[in-house]
Structure formats: structure tokens, C-alpha cells
């Protein structure tokens, strides 16, 4: 069994990578909202925080009733109980990655988790 798995993502409206990459500690989705399009519902989570990474375009995010603009290379972390919704701007699509992981589950990271091989 290989220690990695690679997939290529197209321009579908939403691609969830959980099953495609056999993820065990996070959910990752790649999302493409057309200009003027949006997520048609407000949602929150039971356990998972979300990290939104804006790749291209422009849009608006509403969290707990507070609205702010989004542009490329914005990163937004939302706690599980945060009520959230996204919308692309009227004149530009919005491309983003969303990573879900259980809140407070990160132990070691970066250098603390690395093992030097050579």
C-alpha cells in the first residue's frame, strides 16, 4: 500500500475529497460558486471547525449575522457553533477550499510532529 494518494480536481461546483483521498482526520472540499451564486442555507456544526481558503474571485461571508468581504488569499476559521453562509459577488465567481476538522483535536504540528529520516 502506498503512503500517499493523488487526485486531480476539475471545475465542478463542489468536490469532497474525504473518500477520494481516504482522509481520516479531516474533510476537504473544493468549491466553485458562480457569480451571484451562494450557499442557500445557514449552517453550523456539532464538532468541526472549518477553515475557508479563498483561491479566486470575490464574495461575502456572514458569520453570526456579521458580514465581511472575501478576496483571494483570505483565510477564515469558523468555530463549530458559528452560523455561516457564503455568497459570490454579483460580478465574480468565488473559488475556495474548505477544511473541516474536529475542534481542539490538533496535538503536535509542524516541527513537533516531524521525524527526521536522514
**pLDDT tens for each residue of 24-53:** 999 999 999 999 999 999 999 999 999 999
**CATH assignment of the domain containing 45:** 2.60.120.10
Res. 87 pLDDT band, cuts 50 70 90: very high
76 in any annotated domain: yes
Q: Identify whether 48 is part of a domain.
A: yes
Is position 118 within any domain?
Answer: no
Cα Rg, the chain, nearest whole Å: 16
pLDDT at residue 104 greater than cutoff 80: yes
Residues 6+ away with beta carbon under 8 Å from 81 = 44, 45
pLDDT of 118 over the 80 cut: yes
* Whole-number Å distance between alpha carbons of 27 and 19: 9
Q: Does residue 79 register a pLDDT over 80?
A: yes
Amino acid at each position: 500500500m502506498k503512503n500517499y494518494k493523488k487526485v486531480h480536481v476539475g471545475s465542478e461546483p463542489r468536490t469532497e475529497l474525504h473518500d477520494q483521498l481516504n482522509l481520516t482526520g479531516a474533510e476537504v472540499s473544493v468549491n466553485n460558486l458562480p457569480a451571484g451564486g451562494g450557499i442557500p442555507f445557514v449552517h453550523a456544526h456539532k464538532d468541526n471547525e472549518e477553515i475557508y481558503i479563498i483561491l479566486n474571485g470575490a464574495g461575502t461571508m456572514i458569520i453570526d449575522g456579521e458580514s465581511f468581504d472575501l478576496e483571494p488569499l483570505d483565510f477564515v476559521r469558523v468555530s463549530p457553533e458559528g452560523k455561516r453562509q457564503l455568497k459570490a459577488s454579483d460580478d465574480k465567481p468565488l473559488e475556495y477550499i474548505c477544511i473541516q476538522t474536529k475542534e481542539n483535536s490538533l496535538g503536535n504540528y509542524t516541527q513537533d510532529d516531524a521525524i527526521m529520516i536522514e
